Amino acid sequence: MSMPLSRLALTLIAALSISACLADSGATLAAPAAFDQAKAGSITLIDIRTPGEWRQTGVAAGAVAINMQDPQGAEGFADKVLAQVKGDRGAPIALICRTGNRSAYMQQTLQGLGFTRVYNVNEGMGGSAAGPGWIKRGLPVAACKQC
């Protein structure tokens, strides 16, 4: 038995909608809000990109640079994040990468490891469908001191 085309199309649309929601299921912050909150000390902003990316663009001002590609894997990354928030898994954290994809992935990873207030700066440093990005918005960057 074949499914009528209209029913098949509706099923595909529903499946795509559900997977899009799952991919963007975490809390987000726009770049200016992340900058303002980091500057005010109300959130820990973490630039999770690689040292090569930090050298190219600088690190988001007010952010701590922690490479998500930790030699110890996700647990090693989480340990470094935990050190930044003095062991408080409930402390507000915002993650930023180039376009918001890796930060969304690491947001879910940290949540899976017990962190409860993790935000994704979903436009990233370079921009995405979520917004123009940190750099195009003219937000400040700092030279990477640990690259």
Pair of tokens at residue 74: 């996700």
Residues 132, 143, 64: CA angle, nearest 5 degrees? 75
Q: Where are the domains of the chain?
A: 26-142
CATH topology of domain 26-142: Oxidized Rhodanese; domain 1 (3.40.250)
The per-residue pLDDT string of the chain (147 residues; one tens digit each, 9 = 90 and over) reads 444 444 433 333 333 333 343 345 589 999 999 999 999 999 999 999 999 999 999 999 999 999 999 999 999 999 999 999 999 999 999 999 999 999 999 999 999 999 999 999 999 999 999 999 999 999 999 998 777
